[in-house]
Homo-oligomer: A and B are copies of this chain.
Amino acid sequence: MALIVQKFGGTSVGNTDRIKNVARRVAEHRKRGDQVVVVVSAMSGVTDGLIKMAKEIMPLPSEREMDMLLATGEQTTIALMAMALHAMDVPAVSLTGAQAGIVTDGVHTKAKIQNITPKQVKNHLRQGRVVIVAGFQGETAEGQITTLGRGGSDLTAIALAAAIKADLCQIFTDVDGVYSADPRIVPSARKMKEISYDEMLELASLGAKVMQSRSVEFAKKFGVVFEVRSSLNDNPGTIVKEETKNMEDVVIRGVALDKNQAKVTLVAVPDKPGVAARIFKALADASINVDMIVQNISHGSGKPATDLSFTVEKADLLKAQKVIDALKKEVNFAEAICTDKIGKLSIVGVGMRSHSGVAARMFETLAREKINIDMISTSEIKISVVIELAKGEQAMKAVHQAFIK
């Protein structure tokens, strides 16, 4: 008998028929003798409908009241899900985030979980019930309703799994698992049987978009083994867990292409202390997230100067441009070249640690394809390169072929 947390997203519970389907799936698990906690999101469309009403009233509603409003979405789903299980004669009970003991800080619309006291969850499990918990929401110690922000339901599931020491946490989604590359671009991409937290984190932050980083970070911190799998079929998914020795046998776990980046190059930046700090402080003050930073010796004038390139999200490019323009006099660089016609291609794998020559092989592969590398950035288990956007998919296929086949 295992204790399992199963999380279903908004699409999986998008209408009453789909809720019944999920209930059927949960009921099957329970028949095998498992204890099941189900975490659900708001039915797809419901949250958007609530936000639309709020915007009709006020362009920028209070965050406390947004939480009060949005929390009704998951509360609706949990009640309907409990009914759907009852209809199949499965004992079940619904709990709001607050009732499930999920205590957060008071940062409305993006609260952090502070602790979980799942007394009611455990009581109901002991009494043989399936426990259905509203994802995405919690309560402050003072009894204020909060929500956890994007990807909050995944976080609820993983945090609950940690709190009740579940044997497994299953994240049901609309993909079959985590792939070695986006199968829409690389048809030969393979579904991974397992992947380490760190690899998953690199992939999550690289635009693989299966899960938000913070849920994976939480799982890593508390050692929660979880599985990403499809709510549409019974195929086994991808298990995400602590790195094991044999994971290193695989050099590269996955290849990701992020088309959502833009690049700024400052030409001939005076090479003196404090200049880089000045630039990136200004960008941070404008809440612009800088991803890669590369600095080269400048080819230009005789003075000691460097070229400084960095990438930001495409959506932030205009804002970044303004910040940079405002600094031009002070910093005294020659010019700023901006482009959003770039792609960031990354390879990820814990095997890199024990296999040499990985970067060389990647660069050779791109050279063979006549693809120029603009910027390079590496971590212990990742190599990222910035290339021309138009060649992104070609590059991804070639690199996938070279490492994963």
Chain A residues within CB distance 8 Å of chain B: 16, 19-20, 50, 53-54, 56-58, 61-62, 64-66, 68-69, 71-72, 75-76, 78-80, 82-84, 86-87, 93-94, 96, 99, 120, 143, 145
Within the assembled complex, what's the spacing in Å between the Cα atoms of A56 and B87? 11
A57-B16, A58-B83, A83-B61 known; A50 and B76 CB under 8 Å?
yes
Query: Chain B's nearest CB lies how many Å from the CB of A398?
Result: 50
A53-B16, A54-B83 known; A68 and B61 CB under 8 Å?
no
Chain B hits for A66, CB < 8 A: 79
Question: Which of B56, B84, B94 is close to A57, meaning CB atoms less than 8 Å apart?
Answer: B84
Residue of B nearest to A61 (CB): B83
Nearest 7 Cβ contacts at the A-B interface: A69-B79, A72-B72, A68-B79, A16-B56, A58-B87, A61-B83, A65-B79
Question: Which of B16, B57, B93 is close to A80, meaning CB atoms less than 8 Å apart?
Answer: B57
Q: Is the CB of B143 within 8 A of A87?
A: no
Q: List 19 other contacts, CB 8 Å, given A66-B79, A68-B79, A120-B143.
A: A50-B76, A53-B80, A54-B79, A54-B83, A57-B87, A58-B86, A58-B87, A64-B93, A65-B80, A65-B86, A68-B75, A68-B78, A68-B82, A68-B96, A69-B79, A69-B80, A72-B76, A96-B145, A99-B143
Query: Chain B's nearest CB lies how many Å from the CB of A80?
Result: 6
Within the assembled complex, what's the spacing in Å between the Cα atoms of A1 and B71? 35
Within the assembled complex, what's the spacing in Å between the Cα atoms of A57 and B58? 35
A69-B76, A72-B72, A99-B143 known; A82 and B62 CB under 8 Å?
yes
Chain B hits for A69, CB < 8 A: 75-76, 79-80, 83
Chain B hits for A87, CB < 8 A: 57-58
Chain B hits for A62, CB < 8 A: 82-83, 86
Q: Is the CB of A61 within 8 A of B75?
A: no
Query: Chain B's nearest CB lies how many Å from the CB of A362?
Result: 51
Chain B hits for A19, CB < 8 A: 57
Question: Which of B16, B65, B71 is close to A83, meaning CB atoms less than 8 Å apart?
Answer: B65
